[in-house]
Amino acid sequence: MTTVKFPRPILKNSKLLRSSAYVNGKWLNSSSNTFKLNDPASGEVIEELPEQSISELDDAIDVAYETFKTYKYTTPRQRATWLRNMFNAMNNNADDLANIISWENGKAYSEALGEIKYAASYFEWFAEEAPRMYGTTIQPSNPSNKAFTMRQPIGVCGLICPWNFPSAMITRKVAPALAAGCTVVVKPDSQTPLSALALAQLIEESGFPPGVFNVVLSSKNTPEFGARLCESRKVKKVSFTGSTRVGKLLMKQSSSTLKKLSLELGGNAPFIVFEDADLELAVEQAVASKFRGLGQTCVCANRLYVHSSIIDKFAEMLASKVENFVIGPGLDKSSTHGCLINADAVTKVETYTKDAIAKGAKVVVKGGPITKLGPTFYAPCILSHVPQNARVSKEEIFGPLCPIFSFDTLDEVVGYANDTVFGLASYVFSKNINNLMAVSEALENGMVSCNTGLFSDAAIPFGGVDESGFGREGSLHGIEEYTFIKTVILGNLPTK
């Protein structure tokens, strides 16, 4: 029996802790069925929430559809004001929101607080972008005709969000949608719904009209919810962050309505360290990239490729950093890292670890389950000299296993890095600008980060290629994903 104390959060603003769906500005408990939300650290039940039906989802879609008819005519400056209010509200309630994330997700409080600051920044950024949806003027070949374009909101957007960033993955989609003049139906992961509901409370307080932001809840019916959002003709756009397998299914389901999609899917990020790299910097940034969220992010360094002349030194330095981690309950402020999301995540990490070791990988830090804390706590494992035939070279780990591969030449490591179906993020470390430029151009990824392991920012386009999906979130391009271009032609005008 464990004697570890798992604290429960004490919120300053009790209104942020909700357990009902939110539709048309109302909190709904209409469903007779419920599902349990468990604390991943302690296993204790946090709350029971309504297991909504497809008909209740249809009601939410109908509300968003009707609300869009008026919301799209609100001025960009008005929407910017509401978005700015939301940015301020999140920052004013940052401590409470971070506690909610730690409680339902298991990540350390310090990481959860960082997520809230990052999540809020999207409302600030798109408050500034809302008035800047510019069109173009065009002179057609006929001199008596004039043409111009305008960007218009696409309509109701279905937003399907993951558990690993239960606040930021919502705001990264919601902020540009609301800025453009769209209405949304948000489906949070059933493992982390409380963060979405806390955002709904703040959306209400920020002045957005009822029906603009709606949250539907389901665990058992999640596949059916996804299908309905994709197949409904009233929903004009679906944005999904999650696995490639599910992304492909949603894309297939959306084909019946030729729906606009944004898909941010799996990753297999290479982290390349050349012989001339600043080793201290590379190790520091490897820790930040690989072990953020205990490795449970799509842009985590999944495969570390280190030049053969420095691989042992790099592994030794990395081990010294990792051994200073304090793993414990996320709500314990002394913890640097929390737990994994569930028992399946633990099994997955152990499977990849055993496979790599069986194929010849060298154990640098053993790591493994921390049973005295609970079944979802796992200490990081570091392996070096991992062979290319190990499963981790091709598959996403999503956990605290750090495999280090060896390479000798630029062409060799680029070949290794590109030998995957994924193309989300990548990292390159070198003091030689020629290496950085050559590798950046050669890597088949949507994002290349040079000499830094953390690059997420509301101002930067986020997204991948290949089986990591398509579409971009954040930046000036993010709002474009929630609009369409309309061309207007004025014909037979006088030329003199």
Task: List the one residue out of 16, 74, 12, 69 whose CA is nearest residue 47.
Answer: 16
pLDDT at 323 > cutoff 50: yes
Catalogue the active-site residues: 264
pLDDT at 2 > cutoff 60: no
Tens-place pLDDT, residues 94-150: 999 999 999 999 999 999 999 999 999 999 999 999 999 999 999 999 999 999 999
C-alpha–C-alpha distance, residues 368 and 322, integer Å:
13
Where does 269-457 sit in CATH, by number? 3.40.309.10
Domain range list for the chain: 14-265+470-484, 269-457
Q: Give mean pLDDT, residues 419-448.
A: 98
Write the DSSP assignment of 288-327 as a string of letters: HHHSGGGG-STTSEEEEEEETTTHHHHHHHHHHHHTT--B
- CA 41 from chain centre, in angstroms, equals 21
pLDDT at 254: 98
Mean pLDDT is lowest, of 7-16, 270-279, 305-314, 485-494, for 7-16
Q: Are 435 and 428 in contact (CB under 8 A)?
A: yes
Q: Give mean pLDDT, residues 322-332.
A: 95
Say what the pTM is. Answer: 0.96
Count Cβ atoms below 10 Å from residue 185 Cβ, excluding itself.
Answer: 27
C-alpha–C-alpha distance, residues 442 and 276, integer Å:
19
Domain 14-265+470-484 falls under CATH 3.90.1520.10:
no
pLDDT at 32: 80
C-alpha–C-alpha distance, residues 475 and 108, integer Å:
28
pLDDT at 7: 77
pLDDT at 1: 38
pLDDT above 90 coverage of the chain, percent: 96
Task: List the one residue out of 181, 235, 188, 213 whose CA is nearest residue 72.
Answer: 181
Count Cβ atoms below 10 Å from residue 197 Cβ, excluding itself.
Answer: 23
C-alpha–C-alpha distance, residues 156 and 69, integer Å:
10
